[in-house]
């Protein structure tokens, strides 16, 4: 039997583990920040028809530049943040925002270059960075998981990174960044600044999007995804908004025809039903605020959340709590600072199951 060690694998990949949120078959999956609401029957039918519509042309390659899809995404972003004034030349799409991040690193990172992030944050940023041959540098968020502009700027000035990652709302903490922190980093950063807004649609009223900063900041890249608010994690569609020159740079590294005709058609259909899909966002926001209130009333520490998940603690032995919940059919995520756990916001029924299980685990009920 050949083992990985027998293969001429890149030295810097030896000893690494693949990304691995557990994929377990449980009654209550609250671990990967998915949207719990499946597409309606009407949308299922529309997606089926859209797939049929392209099926007869699958002998041909798809539109390499996904122009129609990017125009639809620009139109959606303009409804989300009217001040953004986006056009097709300023929007780019790929297979999930993970692929978007990979393309950014392929274009702006690479051997001899550095990317900086502020932990705790999304675990794939350092992983995709390393796999692209870029050096990863860790700085840290504040105690309350925010980011004081002065501290952020100090880290940027110390490391002079080619790529800076700011995640807002942040995963796994849920914390949104004020625009002055992003502006301060933009002013100090010598390279590109990526604001990962995977959860932006869940932000609370009054929390602005970095899309409003695109004008006048040609090195700002705002990434988004259809995996969360749009409830399309299975379709794999991520996107970004940036200066047209950034998109020209990404065209140099993207694989030809990276977005399949089926993906493009499905994503456009989902966008056409955007109102229905985003209809669940309001319910998830309410459910999130309710679970934050409940956890606080129960005496837990809870990070403020502008996302569809909540980080709570603190537990001297979080593994035990995680296992206790799992034993009751509730799968959450052991992620973030060592004494904290993250729960994704599900349906009212799923959250009721979570609350009951957590009370039992805490009370030692078997």
Instruction: Establish whether the linkage from the previous residue to 172 is cis, with ω within 30° of 0.
Output: yes
Choosing from 31, 98, 106, 129, the residue that interacts with ligand PMP (CB under 6 A) is 98
Under the criterion CB under 6 A, does residue 196 sit at the interface with ligand PMP? Answer: yes
In angstroms and rounded to an integer, the radius of gyration of the C-alpha atoms of the chain is 21
For residues 97 and 269, which CB has a smaller minimum distance to ligand PMP in the complex?
Answer: 97
User: Closest separation between CB of residue 297 and ligand PMP, Å?
Assistant: 27
Query: What is the per-residue DSSP string for 131-158?
Result: HTTPEEEEEE--TTS---HHHHHHHHHH
- Contacting ligand PMP (CB under 6 A), which of 171, 175, 263, 269? 171
Instruction: Using the rule CB under 6 A, give the single segment among 77-85, 96-104, 271-279, 350-358 that binds ligand PMP.
Output: 96-104
Q: Binding of ligand PMP at residue 122 (CB under 6 A)? A: yes
Phi-psi region of 86 (alpha: psi -120 to 50; beta: other; left: phi over 0): beta
80 binds ligand PMP (CB under 6 A): no
Nearest residue (beta carbon) to ligand PMP: 96
Selected from 36, 39, 62, 96, the binder of ligand PMP by CB under 6 A is: 96
Q: What angle do CA 77, 82, 88 make, to 5 degrees?
A: 45
Beta-sheet strand order (sheet of 301-302)? 301-302, 309-313, 340-344
Q: Decide whether 125 or 328 has the Cβ nearer to ligand PMP.
A: 125
Cβ proximity of 277 and 296 under 8 Å: no
Strand partners, 166: 195
Which of 26, 131, 179, 233 contacts ligand PMP by CB under 6 A?
Answer: 233
Q: Which listed range, 2-10, 90-98, 187-195, 289-297, lies at the site for ligand PMP (CB under 6 A)?
A: 90-98
| From 35, 167, 264, 308, residue interacting with ligand PMP (rule: CB under 6 A) | 167
| DSSP secondary structure letters along 227-281 | SSTT--GGG--EEEE--HHHHHHHHTTSPTT-S-HHHHHHHHHHHHTHHHHHHHH
Cβ(171)–Cβ(336) below 8 Å: no
Q: Which of 117, 120, 238, 324 binds ligand PMP (CB under 6 A)?
A: 238
**Of these, 225, 263, 305, 308, which contacts ligand PMP (CB under 6 A)?**
225
Chain residues in the site for ligand PMP (CB under 6 A): 33, 96-98, 122, 167, 171, 196, 198, 225, 227, 233, 238
């Amino acid at each position: 039997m050949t083992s990985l060690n027998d293969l001429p694998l890149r030295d810097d990949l030896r000893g690494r583990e693949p990304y691995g949120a557990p994929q377990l078959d449980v009654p209550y999956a609250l671990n990967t920040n998915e949207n719990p609401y499946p597409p309606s029957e009407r949308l299922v039918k529309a997606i089926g028809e859209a797939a049929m519509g392209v099926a007869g042309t699958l002998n041909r390659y798809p539109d390499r530049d996904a122009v129609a899809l990017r125009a639809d995404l620009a139109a959606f972003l303009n409804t989300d943040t009217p001040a953004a004034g986006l056009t097709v030349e300023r929007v780019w799409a790929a297979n999930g925002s993970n692929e978007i991040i990979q393309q950014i690193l392929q274009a702006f990172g690479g051997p001899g270059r550095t990317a900086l992030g502020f932990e705790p944050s999304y675990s794939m940023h350092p992983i995709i960075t390393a796999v692209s041959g870029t050096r990863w540098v860790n700085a840290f968020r504040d105690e309350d998981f925010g980011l004081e502009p002065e501290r952020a700027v100090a880290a940027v000035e110390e490391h002079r990174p080619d790529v800076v990652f700011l995640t807002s709302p942040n995963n796994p903490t849920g914390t949104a960044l004020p625009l002055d922190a992003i502006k301060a980093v933009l002013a100090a950063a010598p390279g590109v600044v990526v604001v990962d807004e995977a959860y932006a649609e869940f932000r609370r009223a009054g929390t602005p999007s970095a899309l409003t900063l695109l004008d006048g900041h040609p090195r700002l890249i705002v990434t988004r995804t259809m995996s969360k608010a749009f409830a399309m994690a299975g379709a794999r569609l991520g996107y970004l908004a940036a200066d047209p020159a950034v998109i020209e740079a990404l065209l140099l590294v993207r694989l030809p025809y990276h977005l399949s005709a089926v993906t493009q058609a499905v994503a456009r259909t989902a966008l056409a039903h955007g109102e229905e899909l985003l209809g669940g966002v309001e319910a998830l926001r309410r459910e999130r605020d309710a679970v934050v209130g409940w956890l606080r009333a129960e005496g837990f520490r809870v990070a403020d959340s502008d996302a569809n998940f909540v980080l709570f603690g603190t537990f001297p032995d979080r593994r035990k709590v995680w296992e206790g919940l799992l034993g009751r059919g509730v799968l959450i995520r052991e992620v973030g600072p060592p004494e904290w756990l993250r729960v994704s916001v599900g349906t009212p029924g799923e959250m009721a199951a979570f609350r009951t299980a957590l009370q039992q685990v805490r009370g030692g009920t078997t």
